[in-house]
Amino acid sequence: MYNNVGAQPGVPRPPAISQPNPFGDTFYGAGSGLIRGGLGAYGEKILGSSSEYVQSNISRYFSDPQYYFQVNDQYVRNKLKVVLFPFLHRGHWTRITEPVGGRLSYKPPIYDINAPDLYIPFMAFGTYVVLAGFSLGLQGKFSPEALNWLFIKGLLGWFLQVSLLKLTLLSLGSGEAPLLDIVAYGGYCFTGLCVAILGRILFGYSYYFLMPWTCLCMGIFLVKTMKRVLFAEVRSYDSSRHHYLLLFIALAQFPLFTWLGITSVNWFI
């Protein structure tokens, strides 16, 4: 009955599914669509130069995001095991490369357990926000504004983690690792954090055991990963500086996790 009426475009209706819109196209298919369609268009407007220039710059900083979402259930399970119990990982930590179109590129996460992905960090971040909100509610201090505040705090923590890793890389003279790789490595910390907060919700005192444990595990994971990344990227091999920086990365996890684990609406209390 409503089919006839639905055909009238004079009626104020939301746009039909078949209409192309820039944001719809960018997320279809590979992530290069995002760069070409969305960012390329805006880059042209903003910079006024040719979109080729903007596109190449953005591609340098923002490698194809779709690569990081090629995951499946099995990868997610195994990667969680690697992140939460890195000392149990028997295999090597290097990423598998394959020649693609004349250049060497890394295999996508489905085929390589050591490849970083962005699905786990995003879901872990969301879980952190939800669990932190839950623990706030158990203390009786829940409000939607508090949840927004926790979201911002989590984002800030993620940003601090990423800048820590990036600065370490830069201080050794190489900043060539793709930004999204570093973002992914930084986001893995939220998995351990979620486990610790879940422990605190279920048994109050288990938090004091789980928190240092997950800090340690995250430290080991980051050290092992960054060692491989540094070996792959850095030209001059200065052993002692490498080791001090890796140790610093591992030790910096403790204050970061402690700060993120304080689920309250104030900065430090």
Partner 1 sequence: MTKEFAVPPVVFPSGGNPGAASGNIQQRRVATAPFQPSTSSLSFIPFDIGPAVGSSSSSAGIYGGGPIGGGPAPGNVNFEDEEPLLDELGIHPDQIWKKTKSVLNPFRVNPAVHKDSDLSGPILLYMALCLFQLLAGKIQFGVILGWIVVSSIFLYVVFNMLAGRNGNLDLHTCTSVVGYCMLPVVILAAVSLFVPQVGAVRFAVAAVFVLWATRVCTGLMVSLADGGDEHRGLISYAALLIYTLFSLLVIF
Task: Transcribe 70-139 into DSSP letters.
Answer: ---HHHHHHHHHHHH-GGG--S--PPPEEEETTEEEEPPTTT-TTS--SHHHHHHHHHHHHHHHHHHHHT
Which of 116, 121, 133, 261 lies at the binding interface for partner 1 (CB under 8 A)?
133
Which of 41, 80, 84, 130 lies at the binding interface for partner 1 (CB under 8 A)?
130
Tokens of 125: 């971040």
Nearer to partner 1, 37 or 219 (CB): 37
- Does 202 contact partner 1 by CB under 8 A? no
Half-sphere exposure of residue 111: CA atoms within 13 angstroms, side-chain side: 9
- Does 69 contact partner 1 by CB under 8 A? yes
How many angstroms separate the CA atoms of 5 and 28, rounded?
A: 30
- Does 204 contact partner 1 by CB under 8 A? no
Instruction: Give the range of 51-59, 64-72, 188-196, 230-238 binding partner 1 by CB under 8 A.
Output: 64-72
Which of 62, 93, 122, 254 lies at the binding interface for partner 1 (CB under 8 A)?
122
What HEC string does 237-262 produce?
A: CCHHHHHHHHHHHHHHHHHHHHHHHC
- Does 28 contact partner 1 by CB under 8 A? yes
CB of 17 to partner 1, least distance (A): 6
Judged by the rule CB under 8 A, the positions of this chain that interact with partner 1 are 2, 4-15, 17, 23-24, 27-31, 65-66, 69-73, 76, 118-119, 122-123, 126-127, 129-130, 133-134, 137, 142, 144, 147
